[in-house]
Amino acid sequence: MKHRDGGRWTASDVGDQDGRIAVITGATGGLGLETARVLAAHGATVVLLGRDPAKLAAAKAELQAGRPGAAVEIGELDLASLESVRKAAADLTNRFGKLDLLINNAGLMMSPYGLTKDGYELQFGTNHLGHFALTGLLMKSLLATPGSRVVTVSSNAHRAGRMNFADLNSARHYQKSAAYGRSKLANLMFTYELQRRLAAAKSQTIALAAHPGTARTDLTRHLSTLSKNALSPRFAAVNFWLVQDAAMGALPILRAATDQAAVGGTYYGPDGFMQLTGYPVVVTSSSRSHNKQAQRRLWVESEQLTGITYPV
């Protein structure tokens, strides 16, 4: 495939998305909003999911102001509540006859210790369990739509992640960066196991993953003041290799969602130094993320914790 920007994959390569329904979690800002912006500009109907009705309304207004006539819908979703996940999935199923894209983007990063409404460690419960449940509840709509995709957003932090099945809730010991790394490792293990199940069922639906490198978004709000300053656009002349804006960070997600040459189980990330910044290419993930036995165990544990089973 020949790309328009000197061989680099850009938003111009997204192609015609007319008629496609794209659901995006965490879509009121950052990567989610940038992903929605590009998909809407290429004709997709984008469904913005988020916790705050006011922020959802503002995001919808922003997208439609930038592109009058853009097809933008909104829906409330709190991934830290399985009841909210069930309500959101039921609402989406009732409102739309098909689902072409589910982009599992929302997340918390290095937050203080907390629990979801169902009693699970907040980062693991939100970043992984909430998306596991949402995807499972929407799977019938995805399976009924030829060429549909599930794109789950991971992170470079997955490389430091360890899947401690004896303490998934970090009840014995909580370290916020370790918990974040575990949740992002879970995102990848979920993607690979889901793709294997879809392939075994000979489904036309595929599962992919992406990561944004280091992008300037609200996700960094729990970082230290020193870390925030290091990523600040004020120091762009020296930190350009370390951090990029949300529009660039969204490109791997967009490629996973729309590249016609993409195959299930592919992981996209930036092409720059240590995958921190750059244009989207196929990247590799840690050996731990490819442990099939651990993937299957995580799947079983996730079914038990959420009460959600999949039709594949």
Q: Which residues are catalytic?
A: 180
Report how far residue 134's alpha carbon sits from residue 187's, in angstroms, rounded to the nearest whole number. Answer: 13
Q: Which residues contact residue 13 at a Cβ distance below 8 angstroms, ignoring those fewer than 6 apart?
A: 1, 3, 4, 255, 258, 259
CA distance 160 to 182: 8
Yes or no: say if 305 and 120 are a contact pair by the CB < 8 Å rule.
yes
